[in-house]
Structure 1
């Protein structure tokens, strides 16, 4: 499943801010970056959209896998997981989250990958 529009993070300025200033949490197969939301960086149609969930993005480089099918499968799994975990947590609606997968992520099964995602979200304070 794809993230709903209210949970998607868009725009190069948002990604640049997350890359430069986001708090980093490192795992064996991914890096989680979290920052306080700044709605002024969003494009005008999305700026005033009332959202009860934080905005998220998943970045998967071609270093993870050369095959787009595998990268898209990983992205869909993480989107579905983030949707189920963060959509029902309105207390964290003022955060932006960026998950970057490391090349070893393609060799890991789905269950340990999602457990690591949960662990990093918990470290970041987004899950209780």
Structure 2
């Protein structure tokens, strides 16, 4: 299952904005960048769409693993976790988030990665 369209962050301008202006929160294996959403980066058809939750993206470089199978498995794991934690949480519709996995994250157990993800969401104010 993929994230609902309302949760996916797309477009290089959105990512550029996150990299330049985003507040950073660190854990040993994951970096979270958070920024206030700006409508000027949305596509025209997206302006009509009312998002019920934040928009998220996950960046996993080949430094994490040379194997695409492993990178995709990690991406699906985090997408599913975010879907369960964030979808429908009120007050997040004006935020964008970018999760970047660090190279040492491939050696961690999935439970450890998800705990780090939860700690980052708490630090950033996504969860009560």
| TM-score using structure 1 length | 0.97
2:41 corresponds in structure 1 to 41
2:115 corresponds in structure 1 to 115
* Residue deviations 1:4-45 (CA, integer Å, cap 9, x gap): 111100111100000000000011001000011112201112
Runs in 1 of length 4+ with deviation above 2 angstroms? none
Q: CA offset at residue 127 of structure 1?
A: 0.6
| Contact 1:3–1:80 (CA under 8 A) maintained in structure 2 | yes
User: Please, which runs of 5 or more residues in structure 1 have no aligned partner?
Assistant: none
Tell me, in whole angstroms, the C-alpha distance in 2 between the residues paired with 1:111 and 1:9: 25
2:59 corresponds in structure 1 to 59
Tell me, in whole angstroms, the C-alpha distance in 2 between the residues paired with 1:106 and 1:48: 39
Q: CA offset at residue 88 of structure 1?
A: 2.3
| Contact 1:40–1:47 (CA under 8 A) maintained in structure 2 | no
Tell me, in whole angstroms, the C-alpha distance in 1 between the residues paired with 2:28 and 2:47: 34
Q: CA offset at residue 47 of structure 1?
A: 2.2
| Contact 1:34–1:97 (CA under 8 A) maintained in structure 2 | yes
Tell me, in whole angstroms, the C-alpha distance in 2 between the residues paired with 1:108 and 1:115: 11
2:91 is paired with a residue of what secondary structure? helix
Structural mapping, 1:84-95, within 5 Å = 84-95=84-95
